[in-house]
Amino acid sequence: MRIQQFLALLAGFLGFSWTALAGEWTHYGGDAGGSRHSTLTQITSENVAGLGQAWIFSTGDLTNRPDDIKVSAFEGTPILVAGSLIFCTPFNEIIALEPGTGAQKWRFDPEVAGGYRPANQFVCRGVTYWNDAGGDHMAPCAERIFMGTVDGRLIAVDALTGELCDGFGDAGQVQIDPGMDLLWPGEFQITSPPVIVGDTLIVGSALGDNQRADAPKGTVRAFDVRTGAPKWNFDPVARGAVEQPGSWGEGIAARTGHANVWAPMSVDEDRGLVFLPTSSPSPDFFGGERPGDNRYANSVVALNGATGDVVWHFQTVHHDVWDYDLPAQPSLVTLQHVDGPVDVVVQVAKTGFVFVLNRETGEPIFGVEERPVPQDGPAGEWLSPTQPHPVAPPALVPQSIAPEDAWGLTPWDRGACSDAIASLRNDGLFTPPSAQGTLMYPFTGGGANWGGMAFNPDTQIMYVNTSRALHVVKLIPSEDFAAADAAEPRKEISPQAGTRWAMRRDLLLSPLGLPCNPPPFGVLHAVDLSDGSIKWESTLGTVRDIAPLPIPWKLGTPNFGGPLVTSGGLVFIGAAMDDYLRAFHAETGEELWSGRLPGGGQATPMTYEWEGRQYVVIAAGGHSTSTTTLGDELVAFALPD
């Protein structure tokens, strides 16, 4: 530890930090803007076939939390800072490993109570590093790790020791007040890492969906990075009276919550801006209590990081009644145009759309058209007559399906799917939920989800994975909710209390348990952001680990987790529902390599160089909602030493 402190002190004197000594991947998304790009080139398309397991680390959660792990998702991406590989477990333990061997250096346990049941599984996607460049480099907590917890705490620990930072909050912790009484303790949680703008620490929240209209606010909170003192709050729900078209009905928004930021945020350090991907207001599938476009919900919102003031916003879905949250980190990249470089925000969406926005103004780079969408919602609903459709890139997933498009392994299977599709309201994208039952394509998991995109600045190509599946959303009169819930306790049936409609949501599967829509069910895309064209698409995943027999049919699978792209010409991604990490050729989309994992790889991989050797690391702990193989391992791959 004294050696580490000496090197940190030396780094401060010489004007660089541990992050410079450590290589790459110092933020959850690789950098503060979430580009998920690495300049490392040791592993290439020519030698990736020789990649093998370098080390494996077990957190012990399978043994220590056998019941809790059944409702968890190991979605964490490590960072390489302060001479250590540092990550969080689904249960908010922070662990520091020796980067070359995977040996544990220190561990911090916030002691999340056993038996705690969060709304959105036990999840921790990552931690955040901060170096006090202007302070005493030898002082405790001169380098810090910040993390939000499933039980609503913001925690600061010393990056070198794992000890709580006494000067931050109450002995290293800030307990966040959700602002109202919760239905149960797990209704409010933090799942994505905080971000830092200057000396301001900013954090969002994840909230339980569809329980009630009068739900907790989706407040984004800012704190002093040194002391934990509150600095500002931003509420994405504009409260109170009508202000202008596109806001909220008079007085109605007082009974609306959410529009929270559960996905990762991004920071433009030079401009002092933080970019928020906001979600839908509460509840998801009926908006009669919140007429209007619901400004700031379902939006990319650029805030002044020091004050919390809105600089600009762009709404991707007006008056969302489909749970089409913005699910992923807004990626901050630079496009090379004939008139010079243009800094942009790239936002992938559950709808399959990709919005490319000017970072200064929020104006679309390729244009966005307001197009008419289906109307005739349920009794009491308010619907936007139009919705934003990007001119480019084209939608990455199908957005409509007809009965004759149904898919199945047998004629009987296919026929059952065709009949089911024909029985539902099905007018394409943005068909409102209904008492008849409405077909949603893409389903509420996307399109794209929290894994986001990766971008190679040298080629101007972005890479993003998407899913293809169908949801059926059926509205139930509120007075019938209790009976419906009691009759099918294993189904997702939620009250949406405070409105006239409860809801039921189901995946539309064939009698054999496969999606009723045609494969591929998971796709990796390469999109040229110089002109918005799709360069290639490759099937992502096999049904080896989800089919009754372990046959590796390359049908693709729905997926959670994101890609990373390297200057070695490779795209690495897990995400699929079989237990593999894969490498694709960045130029052609050819799958070049796959490495077997001990559990589901529903996480985003990262890469770094340590003592001259490049490693690729992914969490392999599975995803309970996706029913992938549960585990507690972090796995590192490298070329032979």
Q: Which residue has the higher pLDDT, 599 or 115?
A: 599
What is the signed CA dihedral for 476, 479, 480, 483, rounded to 10 degrees?
A: 140
What whole-number distance in Å separates Cα of residue 437 and Cα of residue 429?
Answer: 14
Q: Is residue 1 one of the residues assigned to a domain?
A: no
Q: Which amino acid is residue 368, in one-letter code? A: V
pLDDT of residue 137: 83
Q: Is residue 267 one of the residues assigned to a domain?
A: yes
Residues 6+ apart with CB under 8 A from 628: 545, 546, 577, 579, 599, 600, 602, 622
What whole-number distance in Å separates Cα of residue 575 and Cα of residue 311?
Answer: 34
Give the range of the structural domain holding residue 191, as residue numbers without chain letter: 25-638
pLDDT of residue 250: 57
Q: Is residue 85 one of the residues assigned to a domain?
A: yes
In this prediction, what percent of the chain has a pLDDT beyond 70? 94
Q: Is residue 203 one of the residues assigned to a domain?
A: yes
What whole-number distance in Å separates Cα of residue 422 and Cα of residue 436?
Answer: 12
Name the E strands within 99-234: 104-108, 128-131, 143-148, 153-158, 173-175, 188-189, 195-197, 200-203, 206-207, 220-224, 230-234
What whole-number distance in Å separates Cα of residue 86 and Cα of residue 25?
Answer: 11
Q: Is residue 16 one of the residues assigned to a domain?
A: no
Which of the residues 151, 268, 284, 323 is marked catalytic?
323
| 323 is annotated as an active-site residue | yes
Question: Does residue 585 register a pLDDT over 50?
Answer: yes
What whole-number distance in Å separates Cα of residue 100 and Cα of residue 297?
Answer: 43
How many domains does the chain fold into?
Answer: 1
Number of C-alpha atoms within 13 angstroms, CB side, residue 470? 29
Averaged pLDDT score across all residues of the chain: 93
Q: Is the dihedral of CA 628, 632, 634, 635 positive or negative?
A: negative
Q: Is residue 625 one of the residues assigned to a domain?
A: yes
Give the residue among 614, 409, 442 at the shortest CA–CA distance from 522: 442
pLDDT of residue 22: 42
Read off the CATH number of the domain in which 269 is found: 2.140.10.10
- Omega cis (within 30) before 520: yes
The DSSP letter of residue 196 is: E
Name the E strands within 159-272: 173-175, 188-189, 195-197, 200-203, 206-207, 220-224, 230-234, 266-268
On whether the CB atoms of residues 347 and 330 are closer than 8 A, the answer is yes
Q: Is residue 72 one of the residues assigned to a domain?
A: yes
Q: Is residue 395 one of the residues assigned to a domain?
A: yes
**How does pLDDT run across 459-498, given as a tens digit for each residue?**
999 999 999 999 999 999 999 999 999 999 999 999 999 9
**How does pLDDT run across 205-258, given as a tens digit for each residue?**
999 999 999 999 999 999 999 999 999 999 998 765 444 555 676 566 777 899
- Omega cis (within 30) before 283: yes
Polymer length in residues for the chain: 641
Give the residue among 151, 282, 208, 287 at the shortest CA–CA distance from 492: 208
